Amino acid sequence: MNRRFLRNLQSEVEILRRMNHEGIVKIVEVFSTEEDLWLVTELMHGGELFDYIVERNGLEEHECREITRQVLDAVRYLHANNIVHRDLKPENILLASKPSDGGALIVKLADFGVAKIIGTSQMATTYCGTPHYFAPEVHGRRGPQDRRSVGYDTAADNWSIGVILYIMLCGFPPFSEPDSDDEGGEDMVECITAGRYTFAPGTAWDAVSDSAKDLVRRLLEVDPTQRITASAALSHRWFSEDGGQSAADADAPNFGGQERSPKRARQKGQGVDKEAGFLYN
């Protein structure tokens, strides 16, 4: 077994054994041999959130609200215990059951292989996870040594939640690599570090409430010191609303002051790029 992979598994076991929250997958048993380490966790009948989004061809806003509330509560617990997940994405959020199967919509965080325990004044420095969901300060760990950011902390998880919420609400990602035939397309990392995204008119955003967009903005704040925390996000007004919808918000501001045209929209028959973790045409 690869040593780095083994270290990640051992770290995951250590963290999961310390956790006791209804929004985090529980570890049941661990078995090891000379060559393998087996983790037995509670059974999640509903599969990945990613697959649920694809099956439903996008989610209703009230579903996004409930999923986001549960994810934020679990992340709040992690951060209170000085743990940063570092790889939050729809594939690592599992459903205990599906409403279509007669169960409640219950989600839990999984895959703590790159999670890290940090001190209150400590920062993580490893460039790991899934780039589409990286916060600007995580991408800042790449490049020449003299230009790298000093590191990142739990705020990076909150950015990832913002990306997940954006995808659930509209069906396409806020940041993506330009298409091969799009010579004028912007580099994904540049857009992330500058916070360039848009609530484009003529897409699913036309039916999304203003308060949901406001929460997305607060989560996708480029400056990690100004980014809303998981605890504060749970008190956001979106969670106390009944799902009222808004008109098109074509002039909604976004960080960086520039808008990007979405290349992907939620449509039936579209494909799936699972590695990147979003839907595409």
The residues annotated as belonging to the active site are 87
Residues constituting the chain: 281
Helix, strand, coil percentages, rounded to 5, for the chain:
35, 10, 50
Residue 40 falls in which region: left (phi positive, over 0), alpha (psi -120 to 50) or beta: beta
C-alpha 71 chain-centroid distance: 9
Name the nearest CA neighbour of 72 among 224, 276, 223, 238. Answer: 238
Name the nearest CA neighbour of 164 among 65, 98, 281, 242. Answer: 65
Residues 103 and 96 sit within 8 Å (Cβ to Cβ): yes
Question: At 273, phi and psi to the nearest 5?
Answer: -105, 95
C-alpha 150 chain-centroid distance: 22
C-alpha 225 chain-centroid distance: 19
